[in-house]
Amino acid sequence: MLASTPSNSAALFIGLGIGLTGLLVLALIIRAMRSQTLALGFATTAAQWALAYVAMMGPGLLIGNALFLLTLACPVAAGFVAARAMRNDASPIGVGFVSGFVNLLVVGALVGGGASDTSMMIQGAIWSVGMLVSSSVLAMVGAWLAPRIFTKVGVTTTAQWSWPAPAALFAIVSAATIFLLLITGGLVTGLEAGLAVPDWPNSFGHNMLLYPVSEMKGGVYYEHAHRLFGMLVGVTTFTMVLVVFRQDRRAWVRGLACFALLMVCVQGLMGGLRVTGTLTLSQEAAQLSPSTLIAIAHGIFGQVVFATMALLAALLTMKWKSTMSLRDFAGVSTLHTLTTIAPFVLLVQLFLGASYRHLQVPPHDGHPAYHPAWAMHGHLGFSIIAVLAVILAASRMSGAARETPALKALGTCAALMITALIVQVLLGLLAYVAVLMRKDAAIPLWELMFTSAHQVTGALLFAATILGAAWSWRLVSANAHMEHQLNRSSVA
C-alpha cells in the first residue's frame, strides 16, 4: 500500500507534471528535428554530464575548472562536427538547442533550495533560457570555426564523413548513456552508497529533479547523481523509440525498441525498490525494507539492458538490413551453437559476480570481512567455464571470417570479445586481491577502481557476445549446414 505524507505526494505530482510536460515538448522537438541532429545533441549532453560528474567528485581546483571548461567546449565541438562532418544532415544550432533542452533536467537541482517558490521559479526560468541560448550559441561558434580551421591548415576537401544510419546512430548514443549509468551505478556499489538517499522516487522528500546540488555531499552525491543519469537514460531511450518509428518500418524492430524502453523503466523501478523495498514515499526507516536481492537483480538487469541497446543499434545499421545470409557455409551448426551458448554462460557468471559483490560484507568495527563462499568460489570457479565459452565462440568466429571474407564482421566481434575478455580477467584478479587486502571500513581507491572497472568491462564483454551471436545468425543461414549435408549426400 502506498504510504506518504502530503508534502511527499505533492513533490511526486510536481515531478510527474514536469516530466509529462517535458516529454510532450520533447516529442514536438523530435518531430521538428532531423535524427542526426537529435543524436549529436544527446551525445553532447551525455559528454557534458560525464565531465560534470567527475568535476563534482572534487578532483581539485585546477582539474575541476578544466573539466568545467570542457563541458562548455562540448557544444562547440558538436557544432564543429555538425558543420563539417554532418553538414547535410545536422543543424549546428539545432544540435546546441537539443543539448540545452536535455540539460534542463538539472535546472531544478541548480536552483533547488531557494528562499521561496517564486524565487526558484524566476531562477529556473533564467537558467533555462540561459542554457538554451548559450548551448545554441556555442554550437554556432563551433560551426563558424569549422571551415576556418580546415582552410588554415590547408584542408579544402568537402567530402562528408561516413556515419551509421540515423536510427542506428541514435541507438549507439542511447547505449553510451546506459554505459555511463552502469559506471555511476558501479561507483555507488563500490562506495557502499546505495542507501545514502533513503526514499524514492523522491530524494529526502524533494522531487528528484528539484533536490539541490548544494546538498549532494559524499554518498548522497553518488546515489543521487546515479538517479539523474537514470533520468537521462529514460529521456534518451524515449527519444530513440520515436526516432526508430520514424526511420525504420520493420514492425519487430519497432517492437524491440519499445521493449527496450520498457526494460529501462523496469530497471528504474528495480533501482527504487532496492532502496525502499516497497512502494512508499516515506523516509521513515520503519516503513522501509531495502532489498539486497533486488540490488543483485538490478545490477544484472542493467547489463542486459545495455546489451539489448547494443543489439538494437546493430539491427538498425544498413549492413544488417542489406546483408544476404550465406547458405553454403559448412560450419554453421558449430558457429551458431558456440555463439549462442557464450552469452548464457556469461549471464550465469554475472549472477555469481553480482551476488558476491552485494552479499560480501567489508571489515568494520573490528569485525573481519564476510565473504559468501558459494558466490566467491562460484564466481572464481565458473570463470574458467566462462573464459572457455568466450574463447571457443571467438575462435570459431575468427575462423569463419578468415575462411569467408563476407563474414568479416564476425572477425571484428571476435576481436572485441577477446580484448574485453583479457581486460576483464586481469581486472577480476586485481579486484579480488584488492577486496581481500582491505583491512577496515575505509574504502581504498584502488579497490573502488578495480571493482567498478571489472563490472563495466563485464558489461562490454556480455554485449560483445550478444552482438557476436546476433551477427553469426544474421550472416549465415540456419539451413546452410543441412543443405551442405544434403549436397554431399547427393554427390556421393
* Residue whose C-alpha cell reads 584478479 in the numeric block: 429
Instruction: Report which of residues 42 and 161 the model is more confident about.
Output: 42
Q: Is the Cβ–Cβ distance between 78 and 41 less than 8 Å?
A: yes
Round the average pLDDT of the chain to a whole number and report it.
89
pLDDT at 4 over 50: no
| Burial of residue 348, with CB atoms counted within 10 A of its CB: 0-12 exposed, 13-18 middle, 19 or more buried | middle
pLDDT over 70 (residue 485) = no
Least confident of 6-10, 30-34, 41-45, 71-75: 6-10
More confident: 304 or 17: 304
- What's the pLDDT score for residue 160? 57
> Of the candidates 488, 480, 490, which has an alpha carbon nearest to the alpha carbon of residue 331?
480
Is 60 exceeded by the pLDDT of residue 116? Answer: yes
Instruction: Give me the phi and psi of 217, to 5 degrees please.
Output: -120, 145
d(CA 205, CA 198): 9
Could you tell me which of 40, 47, 22 has the C-alpha nearest to residue 235?
A: 22
Q: C-alpha angle with apex 238: 234 to 239, nearest 5 degrees?
A: 120
- Least confident interval from 19-23, 51-55, 186-190, 343-347: 19-23
pTM of full prediction above 0.75: yes
In 3D space, the residue among 206, 484, 471, 467 whose CA is nearest the CA of residue 325 turns out to be 471
* Helix, strand, coil shares, percent, the chain, to 5: 80, 0, 20
Q: Which of 4-8, 74-78, 321-325 has the lowest mean pLDDT?
A: 4-8
Residue range 416-420: average pLDDT? 97
For residue 471, pLDDT over 90 is answered with yes
Q: How does DSSP assign 214-275, residue by residue?
A: GG--HHHHHHHHHHHHHHHHHHHHHHHHHHHHHH---HHHHHHHHHHHHHHHHHHHHHHHHH
Best mean pLDDT range from 136-145, 205-214, 274-283: 136-145
Q: Is residue 240 within 8 Å of 257, Cβ to Cβ?
A: yes
For residues 79, 80, 86, 92, the Cα torsion angle rounded to the nearest 10 degrees is 20
Distance of CA 86 to the CA centre of its chain: 24
Which of residues 139 and 108 earns the better pLDDT score?
139
Which three-class secondary structure state does DSSP give residue 331? Answer: coil
More confident residue, 173 or 478: 173
Per-residue pLDDT at 449: 94
Domains of the chain: which residue ranges?
323-492
- pLDDT, tens digit, for every residue of 353-381? 999 999 998 888 778 889 899 999 999 99
pLDDT band of residue 327 (cuts 50, 70, 90) is confident
Q: What does DSSP assign to residue 160?
A: P
DSSP-assigned states of every residue in 336-347: HHHHHHHHHHHH
Query: Going by C-beta distance under 8 Å and a sequence separation of 6 or more, which residues neighbour residue 389?
Result: 338, 341, 342, 345, 346
- Identify the pLDDT of residue 490: 45
What is the predicted pLDDT for the residue at 8? Answer: 67
Residues 177-184 have a mean pLDDT of 97
Report residue 376 CA to chain centroid gap: 27
21 vs 24: CA distance, rounded Å: 5
- pLDDT one-digit tens code per residue, 393-404: 999 999 999 988
